[in-house]
Amino acid sequence: MDIDLLIKNGHVLDPSNNINGKYDVAISNGKIQSILKPGNLNQSNIKNELDVSGNLVIPGLIDLHVHVFPNRTLLGTLADNVGIKQGVTTVVDAGSTGVKYLNYFMKEVVENNNTRILLWINIASQGLCEGLSELADLKYLEPDKVIEAISNNNLIRGIKVRMSSSVVKGNGIRPLEIAKNLSQKIGVPLMVHIGNYPPYLADILNLLDAGDVVTHAFHGKKGGILNENGYLIPEAEKALKRGVLFDVGHGTSSFSFKTIKRTKELGLNPSTISTDIYNSNLNGPVYNMAITMTKLIAMGYSLEDVVKATTNMPAKVLRMENEIGNLRVGTVADISILTWKHSPIKLKDSMGEEVLVGKYLVPLYTIKSGEVFKCNE
């Protein structure tokens, strides 16, 4: 059989399929055709080869929380700059748009980038296009329009609700109740942003079910998942047991080394690792997905854990694990090729805390549906 692309000699790592070793990956028609020990391919017509000796070959990275609507929002950045140019095959815009600007998002963002772009639609119609207090007036919540949008557009994988004081103002927990009702009605998950209270995290968590995602879960602000004594608040423990998911969502001000070190000791680990990247944190503290992954490794997580939390786990959240997020034969040929750069680097969290490590991950190539893109230097 013809092979469109053979990725040779890399170290292939897909923890969700127990693949960890030196393999060649053959791609045809945009799908994974086979994974073989090097040299075991015979009688095939190979159209293109990519030799990645010494590098890491993993399922295409999925960034579950980004902001990529630059024309309409102040914080938005170009999707390809944080996607395929950084080793990330799929980005999920987290609420930059609601129903009101969805058509613009499709035309200006989805159709104009090579990165696979999905969305959490903002429960507020204007999304982040008219300022950052989108839930301060409940008239912007138009559930029927959200239902219609989701049923007509399968790039929308869930609903984003930002539950912090500056966003909801006097409305408290009400926007989340409306969003939860909607999510139950149509069977899509919620991504809930947490930050400064009120509303209180306990009240937020009590409304969430298995498959819902709390982003910025490891922030270092007051009122987070740890109480003043450094223990999980009971609602977080219960939410964890119910299957609520805790996402990193690094961002400018939402990731604390201190918090994650402690939650790790307590057995609450990130289900997914996302960047919450936008134009003002691209040059620090976030930089890109590979640096964010390196930070989690610096916190004591294994490379396997980190790869799983950036590939297979987000694919599950999106209910797309049969298409993306792993290297099973027959799935979409979305692949990220990274390497370790052996050079000391100081990694900084959102609180200004630094850790020094001796190596960090750098993206080399992004392969999306079998097409090769070279990453930024």
Question: Annotated binding residue at 250?
Answer: no
User: For Zn ion, which is the closer residue by CB, 171 or 253?
Assistant: 253
Question: Annotated binding residue at 219?
Answer: no
Cβ atoms within 10 A of the Cβ of 154, count? 9
**113: Cβ contacts below 8 Å, ≥ 6 apart:** 68, 78, 79, 80, 83, 84
CB of 76 to Zn ion, least distance (A): 10
**Spatial contact of 295 and 273, defined as CB atoms under 8 Å apart:** no
Shortest-Cβ-distance residue relative to Zn ion: 276
CB of 66 to Zn ion, least distance (A): 8
CB of 251 to Zn ion, least distance (A): 6
User: For Zn ion, which is the closer residue by CB, 6 or 94?
Assistant: 94
Where along the sequence are the contacts to Zn ion (CB under 5 A)? 94, 276
User: For Zn ion, which is the closer residue by CB, 254 or 311?
Assistant: 254
Question: Annotated binding residue at 342?
Answer: no
**Spatial contact of 69 and 129, defined as CB atoms under 8 Å apart:** yes
User: For Zn ion, which is the closer residue by CB, 94 or 335?
Assistant: 94
User: For Zn ion, which is the closer residue by CB, 33 or 97?
Assistant: 97
Q: CA 36, CA 24: separation in Å to the nearest integer?
A: 5
Q: CA 84, CA 69: separation in Å to the nearest integer?
A: 16
Question: Annotated binding residue at 11?
Answer: no
Token pair listed for 83: 């996607």
Which residues is 215 bridged to in the sheet?
Answer: 193
User: For Zn ion, which is the closer residue by CB, 77 or 366?
Assistant: 77
CB of 75 to Zn ion, least distance (A): 8
CA distances from residue 5 to 44, 48, 54, 83 in whole angstroms, order as listed: 11, 5, 18, 21
User: For Zn ion, which is the closer residue by CB, 91 or 375?
Assistant: 91
Q: CA 214, CA 246: separation in Å to the nearest integer?
A: 5
Question: Annotated binding residue at 80?
Answer: no
Question: Annotated binding residue at 276?
Answer: yes
Binding residues: 65, 67, 160, 193, 216, 276
Binding residues for Zn(2+): 65, 67, 160, 193, 216, 276
